[in-house]
Amino acid sequence: MNITNTIWRNCYAHPDRVALLYEGHPASYGALRLRAELASARLAAAGVTRGDVVALSIRNRLSYLTVLLAVTRLGAVATPLWNGLPAEYREELVAANRVRTIVLDKDESWRSSSLPASCYLEASMLLAPPATDERLEVPPVAQGLDEQPWLIALSSGTTTGKPKRNPQNHARGALLASLSPRANQDDQERVFLFTSLGIEYGISTVMRQLYRGATTVLTQSIKPEGFYATVQRDQPTRVVTTTANATLLWAHAAKTLPESLTACASLKSIMVAGGFVSKALRDGITHRICSRLEVDYGATETGSLAFSTPETHAVRPGSTGRLNSWVQAEAVDENDHPLPPGQQGILRFKSLLLTNGYLDDEQATEQAFRNGWFYPGDSGSVGTAGYLFLNGRIDHMLNLGGNKINPDLIEKLLDEQPEIIESAVVVVKRHTGKLALVAAVEAQAPVDSAALKRLCQERLGKMYRPHAIVQFDALPRNESGKVMRLALAARIKFPSEEIRQ
């Protein structure tokens, strides 16, 4: 098999149907096929062959997707080079993934020190119309790739900003594109993907649409003002985004678009993933963007695990949602013994979509993948009706003067406050060398720091009272929307204890 087989069947069955709306310009299934086959012919002519790893550093999202499909048709393996990654991380990824070719933009100045000039191809050259005298032969699609990778996804589960590398094989990718936690989907649904194609959550959303022969709306920029203009112009029926982007959309609407809900009248639902949805964020989304909010809990390593809808939220407001039908979950103790339903423990999951581990990282693989289970590093419980409850990260325990502090308890309490969108608790070194417990909060209006400190002490005890509350307009996040705690701690300076950034 090849993960693109189903897409190509749709291209032949519905050549005139719109596959993509990019900045308002339609690209049909037939046109998408022709452009991808043109690119695959040029990639083959340049020496790219089955099993080669091709890194993509392409800003134009339509071009990125087209080249990705072309690489996959050849049986080569694609991997993104996130534009936001530091140069040293990019260099590491090229070497570690054994990249043979890099496809990039014409004006891209970065080059890897480990690859010769002949290994670079311009995206615009691959996708340019054929010259009059150009002789191109479209290579046959590579088949028999069930267990072979088509993508080395970059996993943002770590909060350091340095991604893990997670190979995704063709069979798993096809199943991921076929399964969905949402019911009643059809080929008339028009999904606006408002997040990066460089993360699995983004590319899997587009692949799922292409598998159904439906339309995906894409924009070049992920800016709030562009979002509302696109919704009014292209009339999508659903939005898929991250919690970080949803926060920006809500803030922009609250400040400049009092009629934003009317502007988004075409939307039947908005789905978010990548982080905790606080009460303030939930209210902001449902009052400013779309009244039907769906929350997807999952990971690059597993795909979607649990899904929250307004209906499940009404039944179990504190839950992350109900487990998907293809997922098994347990809470276990430190010896991996299963705990009774409802009892807090270390969460582990089995799924039809479970990957095999991380590339060339035995330690991380052994820690997260054990005996057919995936351990994401979350603690929580599983109810008898399949509702999943998260309690926090087991690897976020802080050491402050010998005292072990669970920051999730503070964050959960702060996130319940109506003015706070999201919080993150870190340990920061004072100018005296002593350590301080700091709660960083994201809020659109000034918060009462003294009152929040008192609240933490009254509810959790003196040890859990932050030394400082630091307010940010936006917490630093990675591509998937998760807070980067190391970067956050580095931005907080003492002795100034009450600052707004």
The pLDDT score that the predictor gives to residue 455 is 96
Average of pLDDT values for 163-192?
A: 88
- State which amino acid sits at residue 111: R
How many Cα atoms sit within 13 Å of 326 on the Cβ side? Answer: 15
The pLDDT score that the predictor gives to residue 498 is 43
The pLDDT score that the predictor gives to residue 159 is 47
Digit-coded pLDDT (tens) for 79-111:
999 777 788 888 988 999 999 999 999 998 889
Highest mean pLDDT range out of 23-27, 220-224, 412-416? 23-27
Cα separation, 406 vs 394, in Å, equals: 9
347 has a pLDDT exceeding 90? yes
Average of pLDDT values for 160-176?
A: 86
Least-confidence region, from 131-135, 155-159, 431-435, 456-460:
155-159
501 has a pLDDT exceeding 60? no
Domains and CATH numbers, the chain: 29-125+140-178 (3.40.50.980), 313-393 (2.30.38.10), 398-491 (3.30.300.30)
What token pair was written down for 41? 């012919």
Give CA separation, 111 vs 92, 123, 161, 406, in Å.
Answer: 12, 15, 21, 42
Give CA separation, 468 vs 278, 312, 403, 441, 500, in Å.
Answer: 21, 36, 18, 11, 12
Do residues 78 and 153 make contact, with C-beta atoms less than 8 angstroms apart? no
Digit-coded pLDDT (tens) for 259-276:
999 999 999 999 999 888
Give CA separation, 91 vs 4, 97, 487, in Å.
Answer: 29, 10, 20
Cα first-last separation, the chain = 51
Question: Could you please report the per-residue DSSP string of 251-293?
Answer: HHHHHH-TTHHHHTTT-SEEEEESS---HHHHHHHHHHT-S-E
Predicted structure pTM score? 0.86
Do residues 427 and 396 make contact, with C-beta atoms less than 8 angstroms apart? no
Query: Which residues, in sequence order, are bridge partners of residue 151?
Result: 78, 168
The dihedral built from the CA positions of residue 96, 100, 104 and 109, taken in this order, carries a sign that is: positive
Angle value at C-alpha 102, between 43 and 1, nearest 5 degrees: 55
